[in-house]
Amino acid sequence: MGAPITLTELSTQLDSLEAEAARSIETAATAAELEELRIALLGKKGRLSGVLGAMGKLSAEERPQVGQRANVLKEQVQSLLGARLAAVQAAALAEQIAAETIDVTAPCSYTPPGHRHPLISTIEEIVDIFAGLGYRVAEGPEIETDHHNFTALNIPPHHPARDMQDTFYLGDGRLLRTHTSPVQIRYLENQAPPVRIVAPGRVYRRDAVDATHSPVFHQVEVLALDEGLDFSHLRGTVMAFLKAFFGDLPVRFRASYFPFTEPSAEVDVQWRGRWLEVMGCGMVDPAVLEGLGLDPERWSGFAAGLGVERFCMVRHGIDDIRRLFSSDLRFLEQF
């Protein structure tokens, strides 16, 4: 402390303080760094205080010069700090905004929604209509016993009706069911009448594929069994259903034969100027009821088997059944 200090020396110190302050303020990157600099430069124990402390060693004439210079420098540093702080804060804000910005014009990743297959929506619609008439949904296995698929439906071995429903045999008395009618048997084995059921499902036949045949297709089976049901109930139910599904298409009942119904009929709707068969139906044959241990004098009923593909094709104007079993998205996306 002993050595006297000159005005020139103090001026030089202030010069270098000014230069250093300007440089370090300019390179400070955060508000916290700037605050540290403010304390280091202008604080009670800061650089400027150090210089002012040494002022006491100057003469009375020299002191005011240094004092004035120090005051100017202090204001300069304060304004540099203020300006830099504003710049640092503006940059931080801009960075935050850039990071949080959502570019509403950017292309999005698009996952196309799936579609219900037209066969599934057709089944749902058929089932819905019958549910509205008080029918419950029943199901049965696709691998069936010969008994449930044929014999219990009054189609004994070697009956010619078996030829019309040639199927895939598993070799152990089991086969792929040729129709949903075995669900009638399974349901009545477990459930005492009165019953009203619909049984949708997949069925199999050994058919060559063409525009109207597929070895795999779908049916919805209908069964109502109660006291006092007759053919008028069958006809009324079928007509009410067809009207609900198709609206006002012309309908005709044609006498037919099925081993498990008597009398039997096939139902056609007029479509594109032709009669198109959409279901088989009839009054449950007493022999089927007897096989189940039910008294045909007390219980009577009707049954029907609806060809789902036909309903679907008429509804959507599809000309070839094979389209329903292809996975061509250009076709499927229309539904």
Q: Which residues bind ligand DAH (CB under 6 A)?
A: 179, 181, 221, 258, 261, 280-282, 303-305
CA dihedral (326, 328, 331, 335) positive or negative: positive
53 Cβ neighbours under 8 A, 6+ residues apart: none
Q: Which is nearer to ligand DAH, 154 or 261 (CB)?
A: 261
Q: Which is nearer to ligand DAH, 193 or 280 (CB)?
A: 280
CB of 223 to ligand DAH, least distance (A): 7
CB of 179 to ligand DAH, least distance (A): 3
Q: Which is nearer to ligand DAH, 245 or 260 (CB)?
A: 260
CA distance 48 to 73: 9
Q: Which is nearer to ligand DAH, 95 or 230 (CB)?
A: 230
Residue in this structure with the two tokens 């029918």, named with its chain if needed: 135
CB of 304 to ligand DAH, least distance (A): 5
CB of 104 to ligand DAH, least distance (A): 57
CB of 284 to ligand DAH, least distance (A): 7
CB of 158 to ligand DAH, least distance (A): 19
Three-state secondary structure string covering the chain: CCCCCCHHHHHHHHHHHHHHHHHHHHHCCCHHHHHHHHHHHHCCCCHHHHHHHHHHHCCCCHHHHHHHHHHHHHHHHHHHHHHHHHHHHHHHHHHHHHHHCCCCCCCCCCCCCCCCCHHHHHHHHHHHHHHHCCCEECCCCCEEEHHHHCHHHCCCCCCCHHHHCCCCECCCCEEECCCCCHHHHHHHHHCCCCEEEEEEEEEECCCCCECCECCEEEEEEEEEEECCCCHHHHHHHHHHHHHHHHCCCCEEEEEEEECCEEEEEEEEEEECCEEEEEEEEEEECHHHHHHCCCCCCCCEEEEEEEEHHHHHHHHHCCCCHHHHHCCCHHHHCCC
Q: Are 216 and 202 in contact (CB under 8 A)?
A: yes
Q: Which is nearer to ligand DAH, 292 or 332 (CB)?
A: 292
Q: Which is nearer to ligand DAH, 73 or 222 (CB)?
A: 222
CB of 305 to ligand DAH, least distance (A): 3
Q: Which is nearer to ligand DAH, 36 or 277 (CB)?
A: 277
Q: Which is nearer to ligand DAH, 80 or 224 (CB)?
A: 224
Conformational region of residue 158, where left means phi above 0, alpha means psi within -120 to 50, and beta covers everything else = left
CB of 254 to ligand DAH, least distance (A): 12
CB of 122 to ligand DAH, least distance (A): 17
Q: Which is nearer to ligand DAH, 48 or 313 (CB)?
A: 313
